[in-house]
Amino acid sequence: MERLDPAKIPRHIAIIMDGNGRWAQKKRLSRIEGHKAGLDAARGVVEACDELGVKILTLYAFSKENWRRPRKEVSELMGLLHAKLKKEREELLKRNIRVNIIGDLDDLPGPIRSTLKKLVEVSRAKNGLLVNLALSYGGRSEIVAGVKKIVADVAAGQITATDITPEIFSRYLFTRDIPDPDLLIRTSGELRISNFLLWQIAYTELYFTATLWPDFGKEELIQACLSFQNRERRFGRTVAQMQEGDAAQ
Ligand code: IPE
Ligand code: IPE
Ligand code: MG
């Protein structure tokens, strides 16, 4: 098997963890069993990223649009997620993992919201892997909320409209302190973004796999990283420029 180049591990990996329902259906289990297996897969991938030396892992766990699902599925999924967070808390802290949330936290049920807030708080000083959980997250809402905040700052005279650049605007998003993803993975064979990190993935490398999320593990994560390492990120420049090593200029 091809080996990973430890010097070129993607710094930030983002994952659209999709396919829990179809995994369960194939096994004649309930959708909630699929979500349970999906949370176990997430735990495995957190560990694998930690071991590979990835710095940031953003996991799309629940979208703004997922509130449209049947009430029972949503409440059971929230219950599972809450229990998993409590169960893994000590292990996360032991691994020096910092947890951050992106999304509209206020949409979440109170008990899970307070568990999440505490986890973010107690892990704030950790300097290992950053696990960035996207919960009730939608890319368009994030951008609109950012626009509202920047308009308010312009009205308050904190910034002028002519000062606004993409770099400045980035600071108005949930991801203000986080570099853009280098690699985005989507499981389950769907070839779409589903409102995930619309602004941040402008130059992210994309990796799509038919594997259903509960079956995704370290081996396939390594495959995705290998695919990433075999690509040339040109950021608008030509191949010749890249070969001359002008990339930094
Ligand atoms: C992803 O799996 C988990 C969430 C979106 C919460 P799905 O539940 O979307 O699984 P499929 O797409 O129905 O197979
Ligand atoms: C995207 O998956 C959201 C998450 C994985 C959390 P969905 O299953 O909700 O996406 P669509 O509806 O198929 O686009
Ligand atoms: Mg899905």
- Mark whether 195 is an active-site residue: no
* Alpha-carbon span 25 to 28, nearest angstrom: 5
* Alpha-carbon span 125 to 238, nearest angstrom: 41
- For residues 31-39, give the mean pLDDT: 98
- For residues 61-67, give the mean pLDDT: 98
Q: 140 CA distance to ligand 3 centroid (A)?
A: 19
Residue 247 confidence (pLDDT) above 80: no
The pocket around ligand 1, CB under 6 angstroms, is made up of 17-22, 38, 62, 66, 188
The preferred substitution site among 22, 63, 133 for testing ligand 2, maximizing ligand atoms within 8 Å of CB, is 63
What does pTM read for this prediction? Answer: 0.97
* Alpha-carbon span 116 to 113, nearest angstrom: 5
Which residue has the CA at smallest separation from atom 1 of ligand 1?
A: 18
Q: 63 CA distance to ligand 2 centroid (A)?
A: 7
pLDDT of residue 2: 74
- Closest ligand 2 atom to residue 192 Cα is 14
- Closest ligand 1 atom to residue 31 Cα is 8
Residue pLDDT, tens place only, 87-139? 999 999 999 999 999 999 999 999 999 999 999 999 999 999 999 999 999 99
pLDDT of residue 245: 77
Q: Is the dihedral of CA 36, 67, 178, 10 positive or negative?
A: positive
Question: Virtual CA dihedral for 25, 67, 224, 80, nearest 10 degrees?
Answer: -70
Which helix (H) or strand (E) segment holds residue 183: the answer is strand 183-186
- For residues 65-76, give the mean pLDDT: 98
- CA–CA distances in Å: residue 78 to residues 1, 53, 74: 39, 30, 6
Which residue has the CA at smallest separation from atom 8 of ligand 2?
A: 18
Q: Assign 237 a pLDDT band (cuts: 50, 70, 90).
A: very high
* Alpha-carbon span 177 to 139, nearest angstrom: 17
Q: What is the phi/psi pair of residue 53, to 5°?
A: 90, 20
Question: Which residues are within 8 A (CB) of 35 and not within 5 positions of it... i.e. 6 or more apart?
Answer: 20, 76, 77, 80
| 128 neighbors 95 (Cβ within 8 angstroms) | yes
Catalytic residue selected from 5, 40, 66, 106: 66
Residue 61 confidence (pLDDT) above 70: yes
**What domains sit in the chain, N to C, each tagged with a CATH number?**
7-248 (3.40.1180.10)
Q: What is the phi/psi pair of residue 236, to 5°?
A: 95, -10
- Mark whether 18 is an active-site residue: yes
The preferred substitution site among 80, 194, 208, 211 for testing ligand 2, maximizing ligand atoms within 8 Å of CB, is 194
